[in-house]
A and B are shown apart, each in its own frame.
Chain A
Amino acid sequence: MSTVYTHTLTITIPANLYQSACAIARSLDPDVGGAASFGPFLQGDPPMPPDTYTTSAPCGAMFAQQALAMAANPAMLHAAVAADYAARWPGLTPPTLADCTAFCAGATVTASLRSLQA
């Protein structure tokens, strides 16, 4: 049964959280490309590197609720991420609780309803 993608989840992070946020996003993405959610890391060279990175993805209502809940609860986020790494990414080192705590403190996570017509 396919998911009904009724919402858009948007996450904005400060640039200093880029690495850990990508690692967390790897596990939140139901597909295999979550680590690329925030795009490539951008260094100097004009224009100046960004202060923040943003990603947004269509999702179901339940996923949106879970994401908002986890963004407010580092322990819950860490448990979910650790479980996913154990199941899908056993060869990779999962984000630590400290990473998740910093993510929750620094990230802005919002969910909104989507429109599907031109």
Chain B
Amino acid sequence: MWEIPSSGVGTFTDSAGTTPATNVGDVLGLVSDRVGSSHAAQATQAAKPVISTFSGGRRAVRFDGSGSNGDFLTASGALQYAQDHWVCLAAVFFALPSSAVPQMPYSNGNITGQAGRVAEFRFDPTMRVVWTDNASQSYGSGATSFTPQVGVPFVATMQKSASSFTLRANGAQIVSQAIPSSLVITSTVVGMGTSVRAAGNFGFFNGQLIAAHGQSTLQAADRALIEGYLAQQIGASLGV
């Protein structure tokens, strides 16, 4: 679980984790996993998100989505999975891209180190689930009935099973989309990208505050518990 505490504990400006990131405006090069050991890191200054604030002075992490890649953090080791998994996010949009058009991930031949297949997924700015499969060069998405507002925090949960993605916003299901059986999640990236060409470097939200990942089927009671915690942390209202 990656959380941005006000004390700055577990957050660093450099990817090696030597310089604490404590102030609004600091870049984030490393966010420690507060539960396990799957830290989220970024070694490139241009792709580091920044500690920012939103309503009530609450802290958030701002992924500015600029440059060739946008900003993103990549999870280490244990979050490289190919099984059922879930991700819960407490997020706020600092701004919506001028073109609120979903940025379809683009898989190209320059992706190396992927043994035959890479599949990636994200929530796009209009809250659709989008994924790519590098082996078949296919992608898909599901329309939703939820549109986040700039500056209004919300909680999102996405669960991937063997056959579908299910996305919830503020506790309510907004889309469930079948996925190809060939889709294998091989990497976890959190952030915000702009380039449809920068496959692998796109992510979830512009202004993410907290992210929690798990590698299993997330039971309803557990999901409600996590959603409630995240909502309380950022002042979101479930059921809205």
Contact = CB atoms under 8 A, between A and B. Distances in A.
A118 B235 CA distance: 15
A15 to B, nearest CB: 11
A29 B50 contact: no
Given A31-B15, A118-B92, 13 more contacts: A2-B19, A2-B20, A2-B21, A5-B27, A10-B67, A31-B45, A37-B67, A39-B68, A39-B197, A39-B198, A45-B109, A56-B64, A118-B62
6 contacts: A5-B25, A10-B66, A33-B42, A37-B47, A47-B196, A58-B50
Contact of B110 (A8, A36, A40, A114): A40
Contacts of A54: 66-68
B14 interface: yes
Chain A contact-residue range equals 35 or more
B115 to A, nearest CB: 18
A102 interface: no
B66 A36 contact: no
Interface of B: 13-16, 19-27, 29, 42-48, 50-55, 60, 62, 64, 66-69, 92-95, 106, 108-111, 150-151, 195-201, 207
Contacts of A42: 108, 110, 197
Contacts of A114: 25, 50
B52 A37 contact: no
Interface of B is mostly: loop
Given A56-B46, A57-B45, A58-B48, A33 B15 contact: yes
A6 B53 CA distance: 15
Contacts of B55: 118
Contacts of A43: 108-110
A85 interface: no
A91 interface: no
Given A10-B66, A33-B44, A38-B68, A118 B52 contact: yes
A118 B108 contact: no
B197 to A, nearest CB: 5
